[in-house]
Structure 1
Amino acid sequence: MTTTLHDIVDTAAAAGSFKTLVAAVTAAELGATLKGAGPFTVFAPSDEAFAKLPAGTVEDLVKPENKAKLAAILTYHVMAGKVMAADVSGKKLEPVTVNGGKLHVDGTAGVTVNGAKVTTADIACTNGVIHVIDTVLMPKA
């Protein structure tokens, strides 16, 4: 049986554990970008990661008037290029995200991104890779 790869958005939607992320990407109108050629590396917060945010945070962010803020948060989870877990194993890196902020990636004991633990790595997509994280990353204001 062959598995058909899909783009980042369709892969996240099909997984079923990224309902909040997919809704946020739609609200921020970033779907077309993340369906683009890429490649992209996406640190995708699970629904459980979004649930750890203070009550009302997600509901507030998906309001039309907060689109720019939501887009800034979401693009902080995206890097240009395809970076696999093996590429960071044993290393500490500070890659720049699509929104221009820096991430602190630590591959010396498992992989963490700004302290968020990568719980599932290397989910291949046609236009990049998804790494599941257990915490939503917030860019510094």
Structure 2
Amino acid sequence: MDVRLDIFSSGRFPGWEKGLKLGVGLLLGASLSACGDPDWQGTDWTKNYQDSFETQISSRASFMPGNTDKAYQPSADGVPNSPVAYHSPPMLSYEDRPLDENITGSLELADYVKAIRVAKLDPWISGPGPYTLFAIPNAAMERLNTRWHGGLLAPENRGQLVHILGYTIAYGKWDEAALRKAIARNHGHAIGLKTLYGDLLGVQVSPRTGELVLENTAGETNRLWGKSFAQSNGVLYFTQDTLLPTPVPVSAGRKHGHR
């Protein structure tokens, strides 16, 4: 259990403005405008995708984490006769491919990928970026989904879904080295990353474990699952749970008894 990090005290996120990419305001304005239209009509995404011919080719790849091996069950007679009788395939993240392609290749992120598509945020992470994506694994997505009546992907919860998933997309290319360097420049204090709809996502080094920890403005934390993965248009992380922007819009259909 991570200790609460007091990173939102006086002088909230000192120095984080210097690390923001130029043009964030324009991009943020465009994203908020798009979010206001349920179907994002009038937004031309045709020029937002990466041009494969302009992407530097690389053969470097890394294994992405996952819990799918837990579903492996050898058949009683040794003959593969069902899907669970096979080991899960390796899930590779390729450095010369964009975020949307690599997360699609991860079984561990199947629920997150579906949610990203329902929220129509996939054009952002398929574009030139750079973006840093804090992807939510299946188990955490399933827990989150139960907190909204009808499920978070239900049409009536579209606003909450877009807001929550937008909080997992930060502007800039922030691998572990870049994050730790920025925190060190900030005298060991947390830095704030600007996310898709303007919410600040805090990043701090846990004084107990030395790990990088995410935190929102309510002091709630979320740990990362392993290392980062270089992408052609940014950086990919797997988180261990969900972290909501605060205040989170409350759905009128939200289940009673859940917070």
TM-score, length-scaled by structure 2: 0.50
- Answering whether residue 113 of structure 2 is matched by residue 113 of structure 1, we say no
Q: Which runs of 5+ in 2 are unaligned?
A: 1-57, 61-93, 184-189, 216-220, 248-259
What is the match of residue 101 of structure 2? 10
Query: Structure 1 CA distance, aligned partners of 2:151 and 2:144?
Result: 11
Corresponding residue of 1:97: 195
Please tell me whether the aligned partners of residues 43 and 131 of structure 1 are also in contact (alpha carbons under 8 angstroms): yes
Q: Which residue of 2 aligns with 1:39?
A: 130
| 1:133 partnered with 2:190 | no
Q: Are residues 70 and 127 of structure 1, via their aligned partners in 2, closer, same or farther at CA, if it must alter by over 3 Å?
A: same
Secondary structure of the residue aligned to 1:50 is helix
Q: Which amino acid aligns with 1:43?
A: F
**Counterpart code for 2:194:** V
Query: What percent of counterpart residues are identical?
Result: 23
**Larger proportion of strand:** 1
The one-letter code matched in structure 1 to 2:230 is A
- Answer with 101-110 or 29-38: which moved more: 101-110
**CA–CA distance in 2 between the matches of 1:37 and 1:135?**
27
**Segments of 4+ moved more than 3 angstroms:** 56-59
The alpha-carbon deviation at position 54 of structure 1 amounts to 6.3
Q: Distance in 2 between matches of 1:57 and 1:130?
A: 27
Unmatched 5+ stretches in structure 1 = none
Q: Which of 1 and 2 has greater Rg?
A: 2
C-alpha deviations, 1:93-114, integer Å up to 9, x for none? 1222111111121134211111
TM-score, normalisation: structure 1? 0.88
Change (3 A) 1:54 1:2: closer
Aligned length: 141
Contact 2:130 2:172 in 1 (8 A): yes
Write the deviation string for residues 64-110 of structure 1: whole angstroms up to 9, x where unpaired: 23222211111111111100111222722122211111112113421
The residue identity in structure 2 corresponding to 1:133 is T
Please tell me whether residue 26 in structure 1 is matched to residue 117 in structure 2. Answer: yes
Higher relative contact order (CA 8 A, sep 6+): 1
Q: Say if 1:43 and 1:132, in contact at 8 Å, map to a contact too.
A: yes
